[in-house]
Amino acid sequence: MALSFAVVASSSSIMCKAINANNHSHLQDLSYIKRAALISDKSAGFTSPHPSFGCVIVTPSVEVVGEGYLYAQGTKPAEVLAVEAAGERCRGATAYVNMEPGDCHGDDTAVSALVQAGITRAVIGMRHPLQHLRGNAIRALRSQGLQVDVLGEDMQSKLVEEARKACLLVNLPFVHRAASRVPFSVLKYAMTLDGKIAASSGHAAWISSKLSRNRVFELRGRSDAIIVGGNTVRRDNPRLTARHGGGHMPIRIVLSQSLDLPEEANLWDLSDVSTVVVTQRGARRSFQRYLASKGVEVVEFDILNPRDVMEYFHDRGYLSILWECGGTLAASAISSGVIHKVFAFVAPKIIGGKNAPSPVGELGMVEMSQALDLIDVCFEQIGPDMLISGFLQPIPDLTPTIPSEDETFAIDPTVAPFETSIIFFYKTWDLYGAFSNFSPHPIQMPDEDGNYVTWFSVEHYYQANKFIGVSNPLAQDCIDKIKSAKSPEEAARMGRLTQRRQPHLVRSDWESVKIDVMYRALKCKFSIYPHLNSMLLSTAGSVLVEASPHDLFWGGGRDGEGLNYLGRLLMKLRSEFLGESSAASENTCIAL
C-alpha cells in the first residue's frame, strides 16, 4: 500500500514537473517572441518604408546565442544576421521570429539560413500579412523537417494572444497595407487642458513641453510622411522635420484646396527632405508653376478628399502617415475613416477663448452616444504633459481576407498570375517586387578602367552613375557613399539629395545616358540570376508597367500618363532573352 502510494505520488510529481516544464517553456517561447518583436523595431526611424523583422536564436539550454533585425529592404535578413551571430550554436536551437519571413525576390535567403544552420524549431509570431507571401516560408521550413509553431495556430492561450499582439503592433502599418487601400494614419495634436490647439489669435507655439515635442520628432522619424492643411502652413510656417538626431526623414505633404499659400515658407526649403503639395485640379496654376520651379511636387485631384489622397499615397508605397494638421482637416480625415490612431498631448495649461481652435472640427455628431470611443487607450506622462493615445479603429483581422496556406500559390512562372495582360510592379514586397531596381540583387559592373565592381543593387549602381566621370573630388565622395549605402532606399536618397543640392556634381551627359545606364544594370541583373531570368521570361505576352504614380519617367504614372521606361527596358530585355542566346555573348557583367 505504502509502495503504491509512493508510486502514485512520484508519478504525479513527475506529471507536475512535466506540466511546469511545459508551462515554463511556453512562457519562455512567449518571452523570446516578444524579444524578437522588440528588436525588430530597432530599425524604425532609420529607414522607411519597410516591414520589421527580428530573429532571436535560443539553444536547448536556454541561452540566447544570436539576434538580428532587418535594417531595411535589401539588407541582410534578420534570420541571416542571427544565424551569423550564433554560428555553430544554431545546431538544435530554436529560432524566434516576430513575423514569417517574406521572401519576395524568388530566393529563400532567410529560410535557407535557418535550415543550413541546423535550427530544428521555429516559433513564428504571425504569418506574413501579404497574401502572395503568406505561408510560403512556414511551408518551406516544415518541408525541411523543422518544427514550426505559429502563435495563435499551434500555440494558443491568453498569453499567446498578448505576444501575438506585440508582433502585430510592431508591423501595424504593414498589416494595414495588406488589409486596406490606405496607409496607417496617426493623428497627433497638442492641446491645453481646456481643449485648445491654439489661442484665438491662432498662435500655438508652444502648447506642449520640449520633452513632448522631442517625442513628436521620434514619431515623425517613424512615419513615411507628415501631413498638414493649408491653414497650418499659413499660420505656423512649420518645418515638420524629424530633428531628434539622424535617422529617417519623412516627406512633408500639404493639403490645400485654394493653393493660397505663402511664397516663402519653410516647407519649400527642400534641402533636408522633399515636400508634396496636394491640391484641387486647376487651382492657381501660376503658383503651381512657382512651386515646381522650387522643386516642390504638386499633385492635383478632381476633388480633394482625404480618402482619395490616402489611396494615392498608398499606391506610392507609403505605409504610415502622421497627421499634424489643425481641427478642420482632422475632422475631414476622421470623417473619411482614414485615421487609425490618435496621439493627444495634453498640457496642464488653460488658454480659454471662445474662438480658439480645438483638435477636431465639425463631425456632425449631436449626442454623446455618437462619440468615437478609443480602443486600447494608454496614458503616459511626459514631463509636465500627459500623452493619451489609442486606436480609432481596431487592428485589422487579416484571417478572413487571406486564403489558407494551401490556397496560396508559390511564385511559379507557369501559373495564372503571369497570364494577365498588364503586370504591374513597384515596391519590392509586391508580387513582382523582384523587377524593381530596389530588389536586393547585387550586380557586378565594369568601372571606367574595365575592372569589375560589385554594387548591392541596380539602384546603387544607377544613383552612383549620376556622378561618375566628374572631376570634382566631392563627386567621387558621393559615389563612395552611395556604393556603401546600407540599402537601395538609402542609395536613392543620397543620389537624389546630392543631385538636388549640388547639381554641379552631376555629370553633364546624365540625361542622355541614364536610360543606357539602367539598361546595362538590368541586363546584368536578369542575366546572372536564373530565377529572375525565368520570371521575366514567363511574363511574355504581358505588358510590364512600373506602377509608380508619381515617377512619370521610369513609372507609368497615375493614369498611364508616365513614360514607363523601367517597364519598357524590362520588356526590351525580355525580347532579347527570348529572341537570341547571342545576347549572352555581349554581356557586360559577370556572374556572382
Ligand X SMILES: NC(=O)C1=CN([C@@H]2O[C@H](COP(=O)(O)OP(=O)(O)OC[C@H]3O[C@@H](n4cnc5c(N)ncnc54)[C@H](OP(=O)(O)O)[C@@H]3O)[C@@H](O)[C@H]2O)C=CC1
Ligand Y SMILES: Nc1c(N[C@@H]2O[C@H](COP(=O)(O)O)[C@@H](O)[C@H]2O)[nH]c(=O)[nH]c1=O
With CB under 6 A as the contact rule, the residue among 26, 42, 139, 235 that binds ligand X is: 235
Kindly state the smallest distance separating residue 36's Cβ from ligand X, in Å: 35
Going by DSSP bridges, is the β-strand pair 297-301/320-323 parallel, antiparallel, or unpaired?
unpaired
Listed in sequence order, the DSSP H helices in 316-351 are 327-335
Q: Burial code of 565-584, b = ≥16 C-beta within 10 A, e = fewer?
A: bbbbbbbebbebbeeeeeee
Asked if 207 interacts with ligand X (CB under 6 A), we say yes
Residues in the chain: 592
Cβ distance to ligand X smaller for residue 301 or 510? 301
Q: Where are the beta strands (DSSP E) in 24-131?
A: 54-58, 64-69, 94-97, 121-124
Asked if 322 interacts with ligand Y (CB under 6 A), we say no
DSSP SS3 for 286: helix
Asked if 228 interacts with ligand Y (CB under 6 A), we say yes
Q: 63, 67, 79, 561: which one is catalytic?
A: 79
Asked if 204 interacts with ligand X (CB under 6 A), we say yes
Cβ distance to ligand X smaller for residue 151 or 309? 309
Alpha-carbon distances of 58 from 67, 88, 114, 455, rounded to whole Å: 9, 12, 12, 34
Rounded Cα–Cα distance for residues 189 and 196 (Å):
10
With CB under 6 A as the contact rule, the residue among 26, 42, 139, 239 that binds ligand Y is: 239
Rounded Cα–Cα distance for residues 52 and 408 (Å):
23
From residue 249 to residue 268, the character string flagging contacts with ligand X as x (rule: CB under 6 A) and all else as - is ------xxxx-x--------
Asked if 213 interacts with ligand Y (CB under 6 A), we say yes
**Count of residues near ligand Y by CB under 6 A:** 18
DSSP SS3 for 309: helix
Of ligand Y, ligand X, none, which one does residue 239 interact with (CB within 5 to 8 Å by kind)? ligand Y
With CB under 6 A as the contact rule, the residue among 104, 253, 298, 329 that binds ligand X is: 329
Q: Which residue from 273, 317, 292 is spatially nearest to 494, judged by alpha carbons?
A: 273
Asked if 189 interacts with ligand X (CB under 6 A), we say yes
Chain CA centroid to CA 519, Å: 27
Kindly state the smallest distance separating residue 48's Cβ from ligand X, in Å: 22
Query: What's the grid cell of residue 560?
Result: 498611364
What lies within 8 Å, CB to CB, of 453 at 6+ separation is 444, 445, 446, 447, 483
Q: Burial code of 513-548, b = ≥16 C-beta within 10 A, e = fewer?
A: ebeebbbbbbbbbbbbbeebbebbebbeebebbbbb
With CB under 6 A as the contact rule, the residue among 54, 327, 440, 488 that binds ligand X is: 327
With CB under 6 A as the contact rule, the residue among 324, 459, 546, 551 that binds ligand Y is: 324
Asked if 358 interacts with ligand X (CB under 6 A), we say no
Asked if 190 interacts with ligand Y (CB under 6 A), we say yes
Q: Are 110 and 77 in contact (CB under 8 A)?
A: yes
Q: Name the residue type at position 189.
A: Y
Q: Where are the beta strands (DSSP E) in 13-140?
A: 54-58, 64-69, 94-97, 121-124
Asked if 39 interacts with ligand Y (CB under 6 A), we say no
Q: How many CB atoms lie within 10 A of CB 587?
A: 13
Asked if 210 interacts with ligand Y (CB under 6 A), we say no
Asked if 267 interacts with ligand Y (CB under 6 A), we say no
Going by DSSP bridges, is the β-strand pair 341-347/184-192 parallel, antiparallel, or unpaired?
parallel
Asked if 334 interacts with ligand X (CB under 6 A), we say no
Asked if 332 interacts with ligand X (CB under 6 A), we say yes
> Is 79 designated active site?
yes
With CB under 6 A as the contact rule, the residue among 171, 212, 232, 275 that binds ligand X is: 232
| From 68-76, 200-208, 360-368, 369-377, span contacting ligand Y (CB under 6 A) | 200-208
Rounded Cα–Cα distance for residues 272 and 269 (Å):
8
With CB under 6 A as the contact rule, the residue among 57, 126, 186, 204 that binds ligand Y is: 204
Q: Are 219 and 186 in contact (CB under 8 A)?
A: yes
| From 130-138, 234-242, 359-367, 400-408, span contacting ligand Y (CB under 6 A) | 234-242
Asked if 207 interacts with ligand Y (CB under 6 A), we say yes
Helical packing angle, 109-117 and 78-86, nearest 10°: 20
Of ligand Y, ligand X, none, which one does residue 202 interact with (CB within 5 to 8 Å by kind)? ligand X
Alpha-carbon distances of 311 from 171, 181, 182, 547, rounded to whole Å: 19, 6, 5, 14
Of ligand Y, ligand X, none, which one does residue 79 interact with (CB within 5 to 8 Å by kind)? none
Asked if 490 interacts with ligand Y (CB under 6 A), we say no
Kindly state the smallest distance separating residue 190's Cβ from ligand Y, in Å: 3
Kindly state the smallest distance separating residue 61's Cβ from ligand X, in Å: 52
Q: What's the Rg (C-alpha) of the chain?
A: 27
Asked if 229 interacts with ligand Y (CB under 6 A), we say no
DSSP SS3 for 175: helix
Of ligand X, ligand Y, none, which one does residue 213 interact with (CB within 5 to 8 Å by kind)? ligand Y
Kindly state the smallest distance separating residue 583's Cβ from ligand X, in Å: 51
Please list the active-site residues: 79
Q: Which residues bind ligand Y (CB under 6 A)?
A: 190, 204-208, 212-213, 216, 228, 232, 236, 238-241, 324, 345
Q: Which residues bind ligand X (CB under 6 A)?
A: 189-190, 197-198, 202, 204, 207, 228-232, 235-236, 255-258, 260, 304-306, 324-329, 332, 357
